[in-house]
Structure 1
Amino acid sequence: MQILLTIFFFLIGTALASFLNALMYRIDKEYKYPEIYTKPSYCEKCGKQLKWYDLIPILSYIFTKGKCSKCGYKITIYYPLSELILGISLSLFSLYHTQWYMYLILLTLFSLTYFDVLYKAIPKIPTLLFGVLGLIYLTILSIITKELVLNATVSGVLLLFGMCILLLVMYGFKNFKLKDGFEGFGGGDFVILLTLSMFLSTQQFWTMFWVSIFLATLFLLPNLILKKMHMKSSLPLLPFFTLGYIVVVIYGENIFEYVRGILMI
């Protein structure tokens, strides 16, 4: 039975990823209601309407070899990769009996990641709304427990303050913009990290952060060595925060205990 549930959540995850990717694309293209939900999908280049089998998560990309069957327009690998990641994530979340609100956080991060990967920018309003949800969550917890609940918010504030100091030293005051943030680390990343600190415990938050940095480093180093990227290249960080969040929700306790054992704390 557990195997069937795991497969079910995997399929739901891939379908949700496909739907959210299409929805984010249509939001970016300023589709109007009800077209944003009802208009058929089509090739961005030649306008060919996609058939139902062109929309099957992951498999359609494999069968078409990542290209439009009519004009040969190359489809970004982000789509099948994101479908696979969300499918695996939801199946593991179900396997480890993850709390319901953590699914919502994952879907929010996933949706915002679309913009960070493809456009190197995180939309301001949804990001701020995510922050508001974090504040509401802390408020509700504080009311229920009848004491002030901050989770890892203090750690989040201290981390961001430390980053501000570090980036000011590295880039100087002239490169600091309230609107756009620092080069390589935007205001959206700050808000996302601070919001995650509201939902996670201090242990979870720091584990998530360092796992994210580790994964980003693993991605960056080979690209620097192969000269596909350079030190001034723009690296979207939200995908790594999302992966770090997934890892900490599933394996966070094990990672923390392992590190504590090594350090003999």
Structure 2
Amino acid sequence: MSSELSPIDKAKFVAAKQASSYVEDGMKVGLGSGSTAAWLVKCLGERVEKEGLKIKGVPTSSRTAALAREVGIEVISLDEAKWLDLTIDGADEYDGNLNLIKGGGGSLLQEKIVATASDQMIVIADASKQVETLGTFPLPIEVIPFGWQTTKTLVEETLIGMDVLGRKVTLRMNGDAPFYTDEGNHILDMHLNRIGNARQLSLIVNQIPGVVENGLFIDICDVVIIGFGDGRVESRDINEGSVEEDRIEFVETENLFADLND
């Protein structure tokens, strides 16, 4: 691992490296989306190349699927897999109960479907993603394009009665055009600042016509692996109530990670 990596990238790498050790030969593994999950895919690809690891990966985005194939991971659909041993993904925020906000990359629907179809979900993150209360990161919701402005108005009206500090809702854009998910939907980002009751908000928002799914992952994550820029990793298991610390050394070498950029 090159010493030219930034502290944030080093933190992402060591978290991904630690998480990759949970994957065993023959497993069916959900592969998350985003920059941190990309490190995980690369780490697994390194194990495929050097150890002959044989796994089947179910990607949560087209970008992850392309990267997985590139590094030698067999890619299958969730319908083919039916059920997964493990899903490893990143998060935009997580709290002390390992509840998450996800969807910053726009893949929250596939990510939630895959995570809930798994025996275990592991989140890999750097320490900056931990918060006392969810809501600093804008909460995304996936909505169908038909009548999206009406859906947005209904969401804004619903937020009036919710325990949140902010109520601004914006359509996610891709340059001058609306952003489209892999399913052809839009993303509305809710700038809430603080979510007092995430479970209640998740249930109510999903009842609004036009909303497909929201980015709150409640009682889904089992383990969070936190990486630090100095090589330290901390693994928190919500089911075991345990916290373990470890350290991963960096090796100056040419390897699969040379071309990985955020």
Same fold (TM over 0.5): no
Larger strand proportion of the pair? 2
> Which one has the largest radius of gyration?
1
Greater RCO, CA 8 A, separation 6+: 2
Larger helix proportion of the pair? 1
Q: How does the TM-score come out when normalised to structure 1? A: 0.25
